[in-house]
Every structure is written in structure tokens, then in C-alpha cells.
Structure 1
């Protein structure tokens, strides 16, 4: 960012070192063994990364959750009501292969260790993808992950119910093995203190109608949002590397939707992964994901070595 742009930017920009200082005395409550369980395929998050990046963010969000709980109680007092508190909802967006799921799981673990909000739930929006049978009928299989491939009304109903304080709200479950929504299987969300909603397009706005009767955006239900960012070429390389790892692991399972890729040669694997990236994921990234970046409250910038080198925090 040049100096003129910085003068009008809605963000405060921190180097890794400056952001790390904001940890203050927040203790590191994750062990190496726990972190190993939280890492995704091809993710290289270290305890040092957790200390420098995640602990300051955990501290900030702890302060925000406390402030929101106080604001909610003040509103209830004003209205003369005595309703239970509602969840603080965090949205997390970013490209395929950027590490959203790993970041969401680590943040969930850290936030749950704060005494004021120990119940932290995580819902990936993959479960709200339309079933493969519907996508195939509508000619959308090659657009899977694009905004039109999701059951938007179902996502909005889910978030509205959760944000209203409803108990036992169900979210569908997606299987990366079968590459489809699991029929009759659900995650039940029962009044958590914090809910993290992770997905490609969770910051995607809708086109506003002229009559002013627009349905809400998914992000309208967020109290805070994070965008995980990296250069296109870096993302492509990470996607291809992950594809190779999956060829040696999940794709070997005969039940895998992608089992046919398990027998590919290295050259064929490289070509297939690049083709999928360029014709589907890169198109979605450019058309739908990157344009939502500036809507986030926090942008974290990953470099080629998987580490976060810069943090942008929206000014209040």
C-alpha cells in the first residue's frame, strides 16, 4: 500500500512483529500435540505462528465478545426484557487451499479457553452446498463452490435462528470423501457463546433490488469477519501440493468421489490439479472471493512459506 492509499484506508496495517506485541500476557494454551490435530492437509502452522498471530486475535475477539455481551444486556434492560444472550458470530472467508479450516479450528480452540465464553461452535458452509443430484440436474457441477451452488435460503434461516438464540439449530454436514452433502446427518448448534462460520463466499453481497426488500446477506449476521489472503500463484501451488497429498491418502479410499485420480502418474496429477484450479477455483476466486476481501473486519496475509506476515484491522 502506498502512502496516499494508507491515508484513506479503513484499515490499520500491522507487521507480524507489531501484531505479535498485542498478545500482551495472553497465555499459550495449545500444545504441539493439540495443534497437530487441528492442522489441515499441507498446513504448516507452528506454535510460534499461534503465539504471534492467533493469540493477539484471540485476545481482541475476547474483548469484542465481552463488549457485545454488555451491549446486548444494555439493550435488554432498555427494552425491559430478560432474554438470554445470543452468540457472537465470526465469519471466515478466503480461497480454496488458503487454510481457512485450519485457522477456524485453531481459533475455535483458543477462544474456548477464555472463561467468559467457553462454548465455541464451528460450522463450515460446505454443508449448505446443494446436493450433487441437484447440481447435476441444474448443470452446476462445474460451478460447485460458486455462490449459485449453495442453498442460500437455508444458510440464512440457520443464521437467523442461531442469532435469535434458538436452541438446537441444525446445519447439514458435507463429506469431502463422497464430495456431497450427507443425507440425514447434521451438526446441532445449541446456543454457543461464539459461532465461527467458515466458507468461500460468506462475505458475498447480493444485488440490491430497487424496492428495498432485499433478503439479508449472510454477512449481516456476523459480528466480526476475517479474510485469509494470499497471492494467486501461491494459492495455485498450495492447491496442487494438496492434490498430490490427497492422491496418496483420501483418493485411495474406494469410497472417495475422486478415487479415479489415485492411479494418476505425477505428470497427470500435476496437469489435472492445474486444470481444476484454472477452470474452477481460480475463476471463482477472481469473480466472487477476492472482491469480498475489503468487506472483512480483519485481513490476514499469508506468504509462500505459509506464515502470516501482515494483519489489517478495520478501524472502528
Structure 2
């Protein structure tokens, strides 16, 4: 039909799907996760159901399987043209989003599902937490209160890690972060050995480089190494609520461990914990979300828009 004078066309780089529209794209993709397996994957205050896996994550992993397969075919064609076998180069998926939005759960579910596909059974998951500067370095720089902000990460080290992975290096080392001690664990490391897929999860993985503390800005971004990127989104009021709920659960569990960096919060009353969590959210996490994380949403290839109870309500897929 023609466009009337009062009609106004809107253009978007994304195709928007309702939950019902998206779940229909599952086709015949089998459910390969059990209830018991799913229980080990969700976060502290998230109860992701098998229905959510079936309706949201199975279509997503079907799409990713098609993308990975196409990339593998292109890789084989290129090396057939060059007349060599070359090094195996992993497909890299970046997952971004706010603290407490559930991106870690999303990453673990995607990892579990993708590893069931026969053409890419080896899927490694790495978080950018391991690339935070150690606490002593953050304290030396006077930015301990900005932990999680872009300047608190050793971005050059992260980029070198991704460059080595993407170049097909046989073994690449990633550092390990402890949420219990709130610091890098010097005695531990993750060894990435040419997997089929690497998932990199972190709040700032879609961030573009900027100069901080007078440092020379970088010309290479973390996202330059991604083959596909996902942003896990929700209204800020919901994320704030999830953050406070998670803080309360941690007060009752991990914070009670005397080795916990936040052990001092274990003795707070429910009301005191609410006030403390809200203050931390407003002073640190909300500020980081508004200034650094949310502005990167439109750089993602796919956006998962969550509503109540961490249920995805809409999906946005970037047009090719």
C-alpha cells in the first residue's frame, strides 16, 4: 500500500520480534538441557525455566549455529583457495549488559546449548572480570571506587588475549577473578586451546576505546574481534530491583564467609542491606550503566529485552 501524507515510516537497523514471533524460529531444534543441568547455570536470584530456554535460547542458538556454520564454510573456502590448512580460528561471541541484568546466566546457557551442536562441540567461556586490574593496582591509581568502569580494566591485556585467540594460537592464557575475595587470583588461570567458539562476557565488551587518566587512546576495540555480539537489556528500575535482591541473597550466603571481601555486610539487617545496596547501585552501578554500558547497546548484533522475572519479552536482530 502507498504511504499517505500523515503516515511516517520509521527505519531501524534491527528486526524486532515479539516473544511469540521469536519462539517460532526454533523450528525443530531439540532441547538438550535437563532441568537439573539448567539449575547449575542460572544466577543467584534468577530462576530461568526450561520454557525460557525453549522459547528464547533455542532459537538464538539455532541462529548462532547457522552463523558459525557459514563462517566455518568461508574459512574452509579461503584456505582451499590459499592451498593450506591454516590455524583453527575460533568464532567469538561477545555478551554485554549491566551488572545484575543476567548476562552471566545468558552466557552459560548459550555455552551449554552451543556445545551440543556437532559442528562446534568445544565452547569456552571467558569473563572480562579476569582482566580487571588487581586491587592493589586500582588502589595505587586511586580508582578502587570505580571498579567495573572502563578505566579499571587492563584493556590492552584483553585485546592481546583476543588477538592471540583470533590468530589461532594453540594456547592462550586468561586470568581468573574471584567474586569471593573481590580480586584477581594470581595462582589460577584459564587456558584456551583453540575451541570452536569463545564467549566473552562482560559489562564493557562493546565499549569503544577512549583515553583515560591521560593514556594514549587505543585504535583497536575489544569488539573488533567479535563475530557476533549480544546485549542483555532491561529497564533500569528492574535491574536495580534485581541488584538489591541479589545483594540480600549474598548477605545470607557468600558474605557470611570470613574470606569474603564483603563479609562486613553479612551482619546488616534487611533494611540496612536494602539501603546499602541502593547506595552502591546509585553511586557506582547506575552511573556506570548510564555513562558507559547503555550507550553501547546499539552496537550489538542482537538485543535481548527482558521484563519481569528475567523473562525476555522482545528480541532485536540487526539486519544484514
Give the structure-2-normalised TM-score: 0.94
Answer whether contact 1:122 1:197 (CA < 8 A) is retained.
Answer: yes
Which residue does the alignment assign to 2:113? 110
Answer whether contact 2:17 2:314 (CA < 8 A) is retained.
Answer: yes
How far is the alpha carbon of 1:100 from its aligned partner?
0.7
Which residue does the alignment assign to 1:240? 244
CA distance in 2, matches of 1:125, 1:5: 42
Distance 1:268 1:118, change over 3 A: same
| RMSD over equivalenced CA pairs, Å | 1.5
Q: 2:31 aligns with which of 14, 28, 31?
A: 28
Does the residue aligned with 2:66 lie in a helix, a strand or coil?
Answer: helix
Per-residue CA distance 1:156-198 (angstroms, 9 max, x = gap) = 0100000011112010000000000001310000000000000
Which residue does the alignment assign to 1:217? 221
How far is the alpha carbon of 1:85 from its aligned partner?
2.8
CA distance in 2, matches of 1:313, 1:20: 14
Matched, 1:249 2:289: no
CA distance in 1, matches of 2:297, 2:233: 8
CA distance in 1, matches of 2:292, 2:124: 26
Size of the aligned set, in residue pairs, is 310
CA distance in 2, matches of 1:106, 1:58: 10
Matched, 1:293 2:302: no
Answer whether contact 1:72 1:85 (CA < 8 A) is retained.
Answer: no
CA distance in 2, matches of 1:43, 1:236: 14
Matched, 1:130 2:112: no
Q: 1:141 aligns with which of 128, 141, 144?
A: 144
Matched, 1:194 2:219: no
How far is the alpha carbon of 1:140 from its aligned partner?
0.7
Matched, 1:228 2:228: no
How far is the alpha carbon of 1:207 from its aligned partner?
4.2
Which residue does the alignment assign to 1:11? 14
> Which ranges of 4 or more aligned residues in structure 1 deviate by more than 2 Å?
3-7, 77-81
Distance 1:214 1:133, change over 3 A: closer
Give the structure-1-normalised TM-score: 0.96
How far is the alpha carbon of 1:75 from its aligned partner?
1.8
CA distance in 1, matches of 2:258, 2:7: 56
Which residue does the alignment assign to 2:315? 311
Which residue does the alignment assign to 1:59? 62
Which residue does the alignment assign to 2:283? 279
Does the residue aligned with 1:156 lie in a helix, a strand or coil?
Answer: helix
Per-residue CA distance 1:200-247 (angstroms, 9 max, x = gap) = 000001249xxxx95310000000000000001100000000000000
CA distance in 2, matches of 1:284, 1:125: 15
Answer whether contact 1:240 1:270 (CA < 8 A) is retained.
Answer: yes
How far is the alpha carbon of 1:80 from its aligned partner?
3.0
Answer whether contact 2:87 2:167 (CA < 8 A) is retained.
Answer: no
In structure 1, the gaps of 5 or more residues are none
Distance 1:6 1:94, change over 3 A: farther
Which residue does the alignment assign to 1:164? 167
CA distance in 1, matches of 2:276, 2:139: 21
Does the residue aligned with 2:278 lie in a helix, a strand or coil?
Answer: helix
